[in-house]
Amino acid sequence: SYPHVDAKQVAHLWNHGTIVQSFLMEMVENALSKDGNLTALQPFVADSGEGKWAAVEAMDKSIPFVANTYALHARYLSRDKDSFAFKLLAAMRNEFGGHEVKKR
């Protein structure tokens, strides 16, 4: 994390001041407006099991499913790292889908 950077302001600028405007950036902005440093969250990205099921099905059928499999592995990686990026991912997923977040 970068203590001298106002992440909430950066998200606002990206979402309203550039061509990059998107629903997911809006969710990031919403999450950061509640807790700009995400200090209340653990860097734990929960999974519902659907991603794992889809990855296993794809492997069983010899179908490349790289992006989904990487996303699943990133969720697992989040559980071992104290990372602002993983906190942000958990917060964004909570905003758009009500996915579980773990609080400190």
- Cα 31 from chain centre: 11
pLDDT at 100 over 90: no
Q: What is the mean pLDDT of residues 60-86?
A: 89
Average pLDDT over residues 50-58: 94
Q: Give one DSSP letter per residue of 4-60, joined into a string.
A: TS-HHHHHHHHHHSSTT--HHHHHHHHHHHH-TT-TTB-S-----SHHHHHHHHHHH
Q: Which residues fall within 8 angstroms of residue 43, CB to CB, at 6 or more apart?
A: 78, 81, 82, 83, 84, 85, 86, 87, 90
**What does pLDDT average to over the chain?**
87
Average pLDDT rounded to a whole number, residues 88-97: 86
Average pLDDT over residues 7-11: 88
Domain boundaries, the chain: 7-97
What's the confidence (pLDDT) of residue 1? 58
Residue 28 has pLDDT above 70, yes or no: yes
Topology, domain 7-97: N-(1-d-carboxylethyl)-l-norvaline Dehydrogenase; domain 2 (1.10.1040)
pLDDT of residue 60: 97
Task: Note whether 78 and 90 are within 8 A (CB).
Answer: yes
